[in-house]
């Protein structure tokens, strides 16, 4: 068993059970980067640089998905919508929690 300490916002929601809808807890993105972020940031482990805390929503969001131009400044404006769709598919947005990590407070 591999233990890792991650630090998340104190108001972040608790991690949902595997297979349940994503609630923006941030655990998966704090542990490792998704395939899209690995290409963009050249990093496989640790906190994803695009993990974004939303004070208004009191949850984490994927910065690559929410604001691709911030992280992909070379992206043409007309390609933003297509990039969001591709990134959503690539990170399986809306498909449910696929993180099997056990979280202790």
Q: What is the residue extent of each domain of the chain?
A: 27-90
What are the CA-CA distances from residue 3 to residues 8, 31, 47, 92, 104 (Å)?
A: 16, 11, 15, 25, 10
Q: Cβ(101)–Cβ(31) under 8 Å?
A: yes
All residue ranges of the chain with pLDDT < 70 are 1
pLDDT at residue 103 in the model: 87
pTM: 0.86
For residue 2, which phi and psi values (nearest 5 degrees)?
A: -100, 125
For residue 34, the cross-strand partners are none
pLDDT at residue 5 in the model: 85
pLDDT at residue 1 in the model: 56
What are the CA-CA distances from residue 80 to residues 11, 84, 94 (Å)?
A: 30, 6, 19
């Amino acid at each position: 068993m591999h233990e890792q300490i991650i630090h998340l916002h104190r108001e972040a929601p608790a991690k949902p059970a595997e297979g349940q809808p994503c609630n923006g807890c941030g655990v998966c993105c704090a542990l490792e980067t998704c395939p899209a972020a690995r290409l963009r940031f050249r990093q496989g482990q640790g906190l994803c640089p695009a993990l974004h805390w939303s004070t208004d929503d009191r949850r984490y969001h994927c910065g690559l998905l929410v604001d691709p131009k911030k992280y992909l400044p070379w992206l043409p404006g007309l390609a933003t919508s297509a990039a969001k769709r591709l990134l959503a598919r690539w990170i399986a947005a809306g498909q449910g929690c696929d993180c099997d990590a056990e979280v202790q407070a």
